[in-house]
Every structure is written in C-alpha cells, then in structure tokens.
Amino acid sequence: MNLHDLTSVVEDNRQLITDWMSQKRKEVSIPIYGSVDIRDAGWKIAVVDANHFPAGFNNVASEDEKHLAALLKNHISRRDKNCKWVHLYPEAHTRNAAYAENLRTLQRLITMAGFRCTIGSPELGGHGSVVGLSGPLKLDHVELKDFDGEQQIVVDGERPDLILLNNDLTEGIVPGLGTSRVSPPPQMGWHVRKKSNHFEALNGYVEEISEILGIDPWYLMTDWFVSKDKCLDKEACRIELAAEVDDFIKKIDDRYRNLGIDREPVVFIKNDSGTYGLGILSVKSGSELLALSNRKMKKLMYSKGGVDVENFLIQEGVPTCLYTESNGPVEPVVYLVDGQAASWFYRINEKKSDIENLNSPSAIFQSYSNVGHLYGKNAHGWHALVAELSMLAMGKEFSEYEKIE
C-alpha cells in the first residue's frame, strides 16, 4: 500500500479530523512550538524525532514568517492577554552562526507578533553580540536577582512577562526559572524527558486517527522499544542489547514479508535522552553491534553535556522515497506553532543513503517553495497530519509530567 495514493482518504475525512484535533487540543496543554523529523517511505509515513526546543527557525521560508508570527501571537495572548515582553533564553552555544541565526529569526517573529523581544542568559551576560549568518545578534544584559527569597531572571534590571526557552536543559534546569512564566515548561527539558515518552504518548493518537481513516496504525508510526540500564562499556550489556536487537529485527522482517515490502530491516539505536543527532547508530543485526570499534561505541554512548547514557531507544528505520532531482535523499522537517504545522523545509544529504541518518554536517536545507513541488500535495497532507499528531503527543507528555509532580 502506498499512502500517497490514499490522500483522498484524508480529504474525505477532513471535517472528522478537524473536529477530532480540536477536541484533543482542549484536553492537553499544547506547546508554544516544536519541530519534527519525518520519514516518508510511501508505505509508511512517520515522525522519527520530535524536538520541544526547535533550533532551526533560520531554515523556515520567509513567506511563512507572517503565519508563524500570527500563531505565536495567538498562543501567547491566549495564555496571557497582558503579555508585552518576551525574553528569549538561548543555549550557551550562541557562537554557532547557524544557531545565532535561529535566534535572530525567532526574535523577528516575536517582534512581528507585536511583542518586545530580548535575548540572553546569565551565562552569556558578558557577551554584547554574536554573529549570525546574516549579521550580528545583540545579546541583552541578563542577571539573577533575589525576589522574595527566590532568584529571578532580570533583563536590564526588569523582569520580562514571559521567558521563551530555546534551551533544551540537557544538564538540568538553569537558575532563575523558578516562579517565572516560562514556555515551553522546563519539565520538558532533556534532563527529564525521554524520546520514548513521546512515542508512548503518540501511540494512542495514531491509533485513534487510524481508526477514523480506516488504516492500520503501523503505517503512521515506527515500531520501537526501550532497552534500559545498558552499560555498553561492559561486554555482558552489549551481548544482551544485541540479542534484543536481533529479536526486534526479526519482528520487523516478518511484518515486511507479510506486507510484501522488499526491504532489509534496519534499526536505529538512539540515546533516549539525547539531541543534535548525538548517540545514534544504525545496524542490521545484533552482531554489528558486537563488532563495533571502541570509537563507534563511545560515539553511541556520547551525549550533549557529557551526561551518562544507559537507556537506548531502539527504533525501526524508515527509508525515504523522497529524492532531489540530483538523487539526494530527503526528509521533511516540519515546524509547528500552537499545535499547527506552520512551515516546512527539507533536509537533504547527498552523502547518505535512503535509510541513513541525514542529520550530519553534510546536510543542506531547502524550503518547501524550492523543492516541495517534487513531492506534491499527496505527501504534504500526510506530513502535516503526522506532525500535528506529534504536537498533541508533546502536550500529553507535559500533562503526564504535571501528574508526577
């Protein structure tokens, strides 16, 4: 079955989907923004990674900025109608020109939405500016001050109405976020959140929407499981993980055979708490894992900030059927604001195969207006659907963390 041939199923059920989405968005706290990576094999279209603190706004198309700004305004004003000032709290690596450009774009969008926007953190307090791809980015003077016994972030001596986090908090919650109005919530940082939390939350939504569409939910989600407490520097842990991988691959292979899919299964082993493509490995068998060199094993165990990795998300690899005219494999990246798929761009990596992780330094990005015509509206509708399901799952994740607290 090729989902691209079934776009009419989505369109015929458009009102049901719209009503269902509207109801589900009332049940959870929809994040202010997020991004998802999608793999489209034709026979499966699925989100393979979801980011609560997206750092690639510099790649969105200029024609999408007005819509993005309007959605930001709607979200912020709905939560706090008196909000006038948004402070953008960035990662520490603002010297990365692409990341700095991401911040420049976010600041422009927030300003377009009608808010004052400052940028900076206590950690970056001494920096006057950093250089983005299109020019310098001014950083505001940020410090911590004590208010009623609790440290708060102040910018040039005043407290902003809203702190917009663009920092994934891998190493823990930073000082000053205590009682401030913060979005996304700090509880969604990688010091707490797991990749598997997202897919667990997503599963129920995919099942419900698949029932509306009359298709097997397998076509809209990757298979996955979590291997916990694996100290991969020890041989016994590697052997145990390799056996789990072999069992998982066999299940995928059986499914492929039953559906007539002529592919050799590949699985991705990912740090369950990681970001930026760190700690990711693809294998076709457990024996590949056992044969890893020490260098590759350390790469799998490496995470941003040097945080220990012992839990791994094992995920079915989904090949892409999308290519550029020069035969480079492509995966859609969708940026969402206030729960809506608001801007597309495409990650292209001509040095990789159709099943490999495309998120590497050799990747380039193209907007939907430049290359979207290659894939047509059939694929676009499915990409929007799975992306917005993922945003619901992010909201559900936060709801679950609230219960724990």
* Confidence at residue 306, expressed as pLDDT on a 0 to 100 scale: 47
Whether residue 360 is predicted with pLDDT greater than 60 in this model: the reply is yes
Q: What is the mean pLDDT of the chain?
A: 87
Is omega for the bond preceding 184 within 30 degrees of 0, making it cis?
yes
Q: What separation in angstroms does the CA of 387 have from each of 26, 109, 303?
A: 18, 21, 26
Nearest to 357 by CA among 283, 298, 303, 251: 283
* Confidence at residue 309, expressed as pLDDT on a 0 to 100 scale: 58
Q: Where in the chain is the domain with CATH 3.40.50.11280?
A: 57-188
CATH number for 57-188 (one of 3.40.50.11280, 1.20.140.10, 1.10.3720.10, 2.40.30.20): it is 3.40.50.11280
* Confidence at residue 67, expressed as pLDDT on a 0 to 100 scale: 96
The mean per-residue pLDDT over the stretch 254-268 comes to 95
Whether residue 405 is predicted with pLDDT greater than 50 in this model: the reply is no
The answer to whether 159 and 177 have CB atoms below 8 angstroms apart is no
Phi and psi angles of residue 35, each rounded to the nearest 5 degrees, phi first: -140, 155
> Tokens 């998120």 label which residue?
359
Nearest to 319 by CA among 360, 278, 269, 266: 266
> CA end-to-end span of the chain, whole Å?
44
What is the rounded distance in angstroms from the CA atom of residue 91 to the CA atom of residue 123? 9
* Confidence at residue 346, expressed as pLDDT on a 0 to 100 scale: 92
The mean per-residue pLDDT over the stretch 59-73 comes to 95
